[in-house]
Structure 1
């Protein structure tokens, strides 16, 4: 702790958090979750368990006159055997909605993943401290956005002035579900993932259920969204279903209908936008599964390749073009009885011209500049005055 400050320790409670659907009390503190306990109880997949516990879009939000803030956290850092080291997770500081500072935390647990064998090793480590100083000496709303790609247990919050939970901002709540791209893979920081950027531009309050590798039309995810209060909803469907080679067209169509039916049980007239995949050349016309490119891994690069056979689309295997055509058809069919349901072709967010200028570095995920472009495009297309997710007065 800094010796010149008289620190006040504020108990960490769910009232200080935004963007989490659930909070678990651990031996160390609070662990935000992005799926409800009922959904987690039905999940048996380690990838989804890891993704939902990574707090993409989750932030501490409080009012204070403090000029200095310290947050003790216990992160879980991932190490991929043979791949370049991953950077530490980033914490973004916003003051009255404006990006102000950025920091990282040392220490933490380590999860070592061997992609050639599929094995993992977990090693415990000590908590670290994130420090922010030089904040303006006035009443203000402070937000600390937690690392979008690093499981983060919150241990202690210290400030040099009292803290109280930030009031409801009165903005519409936007609930979004998607893949690792929506989760924020390869974004520069948690407040610069494309959904976070789009939310800021659209003036809406984000709940991000982008789940890396796990946008798979799981019924428990649909029920979690059904039971979450929201004013605006979007679901980005497709790339993970191809990646995982999870189902064929015969199963895909009723699964999409079932997912949308479940959302409508809790949100019968809420504006609902179905978004198809952005451009990903390796899977446009080649089915999954998606595999690691071990030749690139040997050279210290993390890249992906499509391991399916294009001829198998005739037997119902999914490609991105197959999924786009079917999603468009499904939405058109349902919209006859559901005027609040809309469709957006993901290539309007990132298409061939964008790929020529900003290619996907690992052939699958956008980089930081592309996240910004997608966020700006989504805000322009979805949150415009005549867009399908028009912001305005909150549901309260």
Structure 2
């Protein structure tokens, strides 16, 4: 009998990495995005496998994630996408590359690098071309150039922006306007700085939909884990994670009885229910309650009943032959995280990254 676990197929990860790499021209670098615990799959094991496969760079969201990678043997360059100003010294001390996304932050990193007696410390600049999240405004480029021209403490290793709708074919004109704006700002930077640097805008959907945005490096997150934001692309990718649990208890419920908190489901007939050892404390959020999700038990679909609890949820197994200990498939390579998430009105990213660390990760290597 096996308990609740996320089975992580490292061969599927290898397949996805090779497929995404095959979409690039020779010489274009590949950055593997492993933030948020490698999208829920386990940052250390996933990163070690990707380093073995030959990724050129890693990307994380926060400095703490980069430190964890450095402390567990990851030697490839690591980009910190959203460092906070108070962690910039940690970036320098641990030899990871911060994304600088405001003029004030550039001022800070220059001060810290100088204090640490650095010369040409590698940084990446992020410019806002339309996502309006983080990023230096295009009209602030003169301030950026002025600050960089007065120091040798740092050197621009890369310049990036983030596409807002690369998966949406109806927004092609907007995406191309972002790429045009990025091209103009990087040309100006190269001319004024007098040297070349890495350029990167494309995420997974950008890799697959916008070859013009491949530049000298691409960044892939969700694609590595088996999802291309498009059913056409998904056919070429393999979901890496399969979430499974087990039946903890079976219960006969009479017509008129209530199930779960707030009496959120009331039986309209006599029924049999199964309790599953998984809940919103594990990442199966309350949006999956009230029949908004179905799980598979012995080849049959069982819909959720009422509110998802913190550590368990209930499903209808009235017409399913099952027993305590039987395996429950929440999602796998056939009934994917994308299917489960979209049926409940959310996205695979949210479901995958929400899987908590108390869910055991089981790594499959063949």
Query: TM-score, normalised to structure 1's length?
Result: 0.27
Pair member with larger Rg: 2
Higher-helix-fraction structure: 2
Query: TM-score, normalised to structure 2's length?
Result: 0.29
